[in-house]
Amino acid sequence: MTQKKVIFSRRQIAQRVEELAAQISRDYTGRDLLLVGILKGAFIFLADLARALEVPTQVDFVRLMSYGTSTETSGEVHITKDVELPVQSRHVLVVEDIVDVGLTLDFLLGHLASHKPASLKICCLIDKRERRQVEVPLDYVGFTVERGFLVGYGLDCAEKFRTLPEVYEILEPEGEG
Ligand code: PRP
């Protein structure tokens, strides 16, 4: 069994998502928003956030792959699925589950900026600080943690635990689940 403990409960997550949505709705009053979710991890957070927003919102997704293992990254990121809606002149809010090293978002920001959006911001559920190599401007942050192998609410460990409604920290990453 994989040992893990809850670090953010359903209730804590739901409350924080409501708070973020209220703040985003205020900030984007009078504007249309294009949410760009990063697959796969962001799909649950994006679904909850999008439904709590009070501004007209469209949704698109990208999928990015980085070379390297889960504990080491070579710094190379590439797109395997690009946005499908036009980005030019749109107010774009990138929605991410967790920012770790920072290379994924750094790459995506450059890519989306080249399409000349009217504005480009980031909303992430979890800002995990310890391994950050590239500082990326995080405009809306749900929770900040220093370290930890986190799963649940979209986050996976070898595709397991993604659909758990809470966020857990894995205590024994090598364990059999
Ligand atoms: C994870 C996570 C972020 C990214 C963080 O995705 O969901 O998208 O890594 O990258 P960083 O270390 O560059 O900040 P992963 O590649 O595991 O794919 P997944 O979302 O499909 O699980």
Q: What is the tens place of the pLDDT at every residue in 57-83?
A: 999 999 999 876 555 666 789 999 999
Active site residue 48: no
For residue 132, which atom of ligand 1 is closest to its CA? 14
Q: What is the tens place of the pLDDT at every residue in 92-126?
A: 999 999 999 999 999 999 999 999 999 999 999 99
63 versus 177: the higher-pLDDT residue is 63
Fill in the DSSP letter of residue 158.
T
Q: Which of 70, 99, 109, 151 to mutate to test the pocket of ligand 1 (most atoms within 8 A of CB)?
A: 99
Q: What is the pLDDT of residue 146?
A: 97
Q: Which of 82, 97, 100, 139 is catalytic?
A: 100
Categorize the per-residue pLDDT at 177 as very low, low, confident or very high, splitting at 50, 70 and 90: very low
Q: What is the pLDDT of residue 176?
A: 47
Q: How far is CA 75 from the centre of its chain?
A: 18
| pTM exceeds 0.75 for this model | yes
Count of C-beta atoms within a 10 Å radius of residue 15: 11
Query: Is residue 156 within 6 Å of ligand 1 at its C-beta?
Result: yes
Fill in the DSSP letter of residue 157.
B
Query: Is residue 38 within 6 Å of ligand 1 at its C-beta?
Result: yes
